Amino acid sequence: MQAGKPINSVYFFTKYLLGFILTVILFTQTGLAQKSSDWKLVTEEGNIRVFTRKTTRSDFKEVRILAILEVEFGAFIDALNDVPAYGEWVYKCKNPRKLNFVNSNELYYYVQTDLPFPLSDRDLVVHSKQWMSEDGMSYHTHSTAVPDVLEEVKGIVRIRSYESFWDVTQDEYGRLLIDYRVVADPGGYLPVWMVNMAVTQGPLETMKNLETFVKNRSFLADKRRKK
């Protein structure tokens, strides 16, 4: 396990995943984009900014998003750990499920991405690790594709190359600074230009949905506590 203290909750991805493929994917924080001049701002809305850059690892661009969210830290982590609920907020995500819960810091999970006809849907098997900083103020994940862990589904293209990193930090005002970076190759037939263009939609929709999802969960939890 990586350095830091363990998290006692069922685990996430990546983040996230995954507004993926016709969207590619998610998040990052201001300082990170400023450190590298090859990041290009492609879209922004409110406190969410999406950057991309070319990479030697793939024909598809690496994605980064800067986001500042006013949500509870614990509720945010809980939402990321709730894999079966990804379909409620992750753009074009369907049939998410946990495959193997190794421990509180490590998980294997599965998701599918719904693509319009005549394109084939994609699926992804993820091995994800998470940890907290020693001071409990930041949360981190590292996720990679493990395509051969699960038998392939007929008619669905298995994503074989995927890696993402999450860094979530709480600032002095209680806001969450979201820092996410991902690079992936959706495989099969999917025009590179289509995927690279679609990155302006998926990450924004996923991030906005996630913020709403976390706030709703927090609201319902408060109501239950007050009864």
Q: Residue ranges of the domains in the chain? A: 30-226
Q: Domain 30-226: which topology?
A: Alpha-D-Glucose-1,6-Bisphosphate; Chain A, domain 4 (3.30.530)
Cα angle at 52 between 184 and 13, to 5 degrees?
45
Average pLDDT of span 71-86: 94
Residue-wise pLDDT tens digits, 159-181:
999 999 999 999 999 999 999 89
Q: Which two tokens stand for residue 137?
A: 């103020």
Read off the pTM. 0.79
What are the distances in angstroms from CA 31 to CA 3, 35, 178?
23, 6, 11
Residue-wise pLDDT tens digits, 121-164:
999 999 999 999 999 899 999 999 999 999 999 999 999 999 99
Is 27 a residue whose pLDDT tops 50? no
Per mean pLDDT, which range of 107-111, 112-116, 121-125, 151-155 is the poorest? Answer: 112-116
The pLDDT of residue 10: 36
